Structure 1
Amino acid sequence: MFIVSFPYAVLQGGYWAIFAIIFVSYICCHTGKILVDCLYDEDKYGNVIRVHCSYVDVANHVWGSKLGGKIVNVAQIIELLMTCILYVLLCGELIHGSFPNAGVDLSSWIMISTALLLPCAFLQSIKSVSWLSFWCTVAHMIINAVIIIFCFTKIEEWKWNDIQLEIDIWTFPISLGIVVFSYTSQIFVPTLEGNMTNPQRFSCMMNWTHIAAAAFKALFALIGFLTFGMGTKEVISNNLPSQPFIIVINIIFVIKALFSYPLPYFAAVEILEETFFRGKPKTFFPQCIDSVGKLKVWGVALRLWLVIVTMLLAIFIPHFAILMGLIGSFTGTMLSFVWPCYFHLKIKWHKLRWYSRAWDIVIIILGLCCAAVGMYYSGRALVRALQGLPTDPYKTHIPIHGRVN
């Protein structure tokens, strides 16, 4: 879904953003494969068997059950809830961009969008969520095709000179965070591999899907930026020239974002209930579901409260791309870069060749550097944006309704 901000990432990072899209894809493909490798071990007869089922299981094995699972669960919950927040915020951004003269501010559009998401509190089946996600994907591919076709109609006007060659330290970390956030699939990789009909094809699947993702994202980002140049907005559909065209595309995007919300929301709810609401003595809080499988009243209230929290955070931090960069800089780099390599080294150290160890260590160092730099500069940029200032302190600005375009 967040590919709509990739042209904006090129605005912030230039050619380096395109390089990051490809390089981060390679790293995440590698860390996904080594994370799955951590799920397996050899028995006393030398047979390879699956001894762990999830990311949390691997963390428990390395850090202990009292600490490991909790750390990874917190990171996963942050990642999933922030994804929900971004979906809500994206809905508000898109509707506000479609009807700028309607007299309704961004916060109000976010609240209206959230009202449509309240039924998510009653979801209990992943089957219903999966069908929504399927049709969202179909709609999204159609919209992407429409935007790309439009961009190619402007090929003679493409602004090659607008792509910067140097790295702007104030904006590139935002761009990098957006890229990292878009590749954070490690949460789901162990489950995916465990449910494959032929797990031996997992490595091949990872290679081809990441190649396809990197190629499409890089081309979409480049083509989108070349079409609109320095005027590229945080959500590229708001750059379309015809207001009716913008409205149609944005409304479809809003529908897609609303239907995409249930998946991360449902996953976050399951993790929270599994971690904190299994009843005593396993957990401090009682179960949210009764003996016949129905949600308890207070369980529904808790789920509704979670939806409201995502709305409030979306209202208080109304800067889609910068927030995405900040999130990606922290949870994204930990989940996708640092922890898989660290776990791999701890579990497989004596079985790895020296260059495999060296590459894992390099990725850990890169991940920690990206996290530190990205969080600092994205955080600074977010503070400046909330103040109505440009993200780069060395650029002049004209505040527009307290927002930075």
Structure 2
Amino acid sequence: MFIVSFPYAVLQGGYWALLSMILIAYICCHTGKILVDCLYEEDDSGNRVRVRHSYVEIAEEVWGRKVGGKIVNVAQLIELIMTCILYLVLCGDLLLGSFPNSPVDLSSWIMISCAFLLPCAFLKTLRHVSVLSFWCTVAHLFINGIILIYCFTKAAEWKWSEVQVKIDIWTFPISLGIVVFSYTSQIFLPSLEVNMVDRSKFHCMLHWTHLAAAVFKALFSYIGFVTWGKDTKEVITNNLPSETLKIIVNLILVVKALLSYPLPFFAAVELLQVTFFQGRPKTYLPTCFETDGALKVWGLALRLLLVVVTLILAITIPHFAILMGFIGSFTGTMLSFLWPCIFHLKIKGSTLKWYQKAMDIIIIILGLLFCIIGMYYSGHALFRAFRGLPPNPFVHA
């Protein structure tokens, strides 16, 4: 969904942003493989046996049940809720870009969008969520096709020279965070791997999906940027010159964003229920469901409250691309860079070759750099954005 902001990442990071899309895809593919490897141990016969079942259980093995699971749960919850917030902010940006002369401001558009998401509180099974996600994929392929076709019609006017080679330290970390956020899939990989018909093809699947993602993201971002150059906006569809075409594309994207919201929302609800609402002796708080499986009234109220919380935060931080860069620099680097390598070294360290250990250590160092630098500069950009200023303090608004 967030690929519509990738040309903006090229505006901020130039060729280095394009390179990062490939490098980060490789790193995330590697950390995905080693994370799933931590789920397995070898028995006395040398056969691999799955002894752990989730990211949380891996963390509990390394940091203990009291600390490890809570740290990863908090990071996952932040990632999921922030994703929900980003969908709402994206809806607001798209609607504001479609109707710029309307008296309705960004916050009001976000509130209108959120009204359609209140029924998410009634979701009880992943089956309904998966149907919505399927149509999201269909819609997005259609939108990407329209954007690319339009860009190719303007090929004679492409602004090749506006892709910068130098690194702007004030803006490049933002684009880096956007790229990291787009590849964060580690929290879903343990469940994905266990449900594969042939688990031996898990590595092959990761290789091809990350390769396809890296190639498409780099090409889409580059083509989108050279079409509009320095006028590229945070959401690329807002650059479409035809008002009719822009409104149609943006409205389809709004529908897609609304249909995308239930997946992270449902995952966040499931995580909260497993962690806090299972009833004694597992948790202090009672279960949200009746004995017949019906959702209790107060359980429904808590779900509605979660929707409202995402709404309030979306209105409070209405800067889509910069917010995405901040989240990617924070939870994205933790979940996709640092923790898989730390867990791998701790659990499998005695069986790893020196170059495997070196690879993990290098990724940890890179992850720390991305996290610290990205959070600092993205946070600084958010602060300036609230004041109506550009990310770079040396560029005048």
Same fold (TM over 0.5): yes
The alpha-carbon deviation at position 388 of structure 1 amounts to 0.7
The alpha-carbon deviation at position 43 of structure 1 amounts to 1.0
The AA in structure 1 aligned to 2:364 is: I
Query: Aligned partners of 1:9, 1:48: CA distance in 2, in Å?
Result: 41
- Note if 1:14 corresponds to 2:9: no
Matched residue, 1:323:
323
Query: Aligned partners of 1:135, 1:116: CA distance in 2, in Å?
Result: 17
Matched residue, 2:237:
237
The alpha-carbon deviation at position 290 of structure 1 amounts to 1.1
Secondary structure (helix, strand or coil) at the match of 2:396 reads coil
Matched residue, 1:402:
none
Query: Aligned partners of 2:158, 2:16: CA distance in 1, in Å?
Result: 19
Query: Aligned partners of 2:247, 2:311: CA distance in 1, in Å?
Result: 23
Matched residue, 2:123:
123
The alpha-carbon deviation at position 282 of structure 1 amounts to 1.9
The alpha-carbon deviation at position 286 of structure 1 amounts to 1.1
Matched residue, 2:333:
333
Query: Aligned partners of 2:290, 2:76: CA distance in 1, in Å?
Result: 26
The AA in structure 1 aligned to 2:50 is: R
TM norm structure 1:
0.97
Matched residue, 1:369:
369
Query: Aligned partners of 1:114, 1:363: CA distance in 2, in Å?
Result: 38
- Note if 1:161 corresponds to 2:164: no
Matched residue, 1:72:
72
Matched residue, 1:281:
281
Query: Aligned partners of 1:207, 1:296: CA distance in 2, in Å?
Result: 44
The AA in structure 2 aligned to 1:154 is: K
The alpha-carbon deviation at position 279 of structure 1 amounts to 1.3
Query: Aligned partners of 2:68, 2:127: CA distance in 1, in Å?
Result: 30
Aligned positions of 1:15-34 closer than 5 A = 15-34=15-34
Matched residue, 1:401:
none
- Structure 1 residue ranges without an equivalent (≥5): 398-405
The alpha-carbon deviation at position 260 of structure 1 amounts to 0.3
Aligned positions of 1:248-327 closer than 5 A = 248-327=248-327
- Note if 1:378 corresponds to 2:375: no
1:370-396 CA distance string (max 9 Å, x none): 000000000000000001111100001
The AA in structure 2 aligned to 1:27 is: I
1:274-320 CA distance string (max 9 Å, x none): 00111123212111111110111110000000000101111010100
Secondary structure (helix, strand or coil) at the match of 2:49 reads strand
The alpha-carbon deviation at position 102 of structure 1 amounts to 1.1
Query: Aligned partners of 1:279, 1:380: CA distance in 2, in Å?
Result: 43
Aligned positions of 1:125-204 closer than 5 A = 125-204=125-204
The AA in structure 2 aligned to 1:119 is: P
Secondary structure (helix, strand or coil) at the match of 1:284 reads coil
CA RMSD, Structure 1 to Structure 2 (Å): 0.5
Task: Say which is worse superposed, 376-385 or 272-281, in terms of deviation.
Answer: 272-281
Secondary structure (helix, strand or coil) at the match of 1:256 reads helix
TM norm structure 2:
0.99
Secondary structure (helix, strand or coil) at the match of 2:187 reads coil
- Note if 1:392 corresponds to 2:392: yes
The AA in structure 2 aligned to 1:348 is: K
Moved over 2 A (4+): none
The AA in structure 1 aligned to 2:165 is: L
The alpha-carbon deviation at position 44 of structure 1 amounts to 1.8
Query: Aligned partners of 2:288, 2:12: CA distance in 1, in Å?
Result: 44
Q: Percent identity?
A: 68
The alpha-carbon deviation at position 353 of structure 1 amounts to 0.5
Matched residue, 2:106:
106
The AA in structure 2 aligned to 1:54 is: S
The AA in structure 2 aligned to 1:65 is: R
The AA in structure 1 aligned to 2:340 is: P
Query: Aligned partners of 1:218, 1:265: CA distance in 2, in Å?
Result: 29
Secondary structure (helix, strand or coil) at the match of 1:212 reads helix
Query: Aligned partners of 1:265, 1:284: CA distance in 2, in Å?
Result: 23
Query: Aligned partners of 1:172, 1:229: CA distance in 2, in Å?
Result: 16
Aligned positions of 1:217-228 closer than 5 A = 217-228=217-228
Secondary structure (helix, strand or coil) at the match of 2:186 reads coil
1:247-281 CA distance string (max 9 Å, x none): 00000000000000000000000000100111123
Task: Say which is worse superposed, 248-257 or 287-296, in terms of deviation.
Answer: 287-296
Query: Aligned partners of 1:51, 1:284: CA distance in 2, in Å?
Result: 27
The AA in structure 2 aligned to 1:279 is: G
Query: Aligned partners of 1:125, 1:278: CA distance in 2, in Å?
Result: 17
Query: Aligned partners of 2:43, 2:280: CA distance in 1, in Å?
Result: 36
Matched residue, 2:359:
359
The AA in structure 2 aligned to 1:265 is: F
State the aligned residue count. Answer: 397
The AA in structure 2 aligned to 1:163 is: V
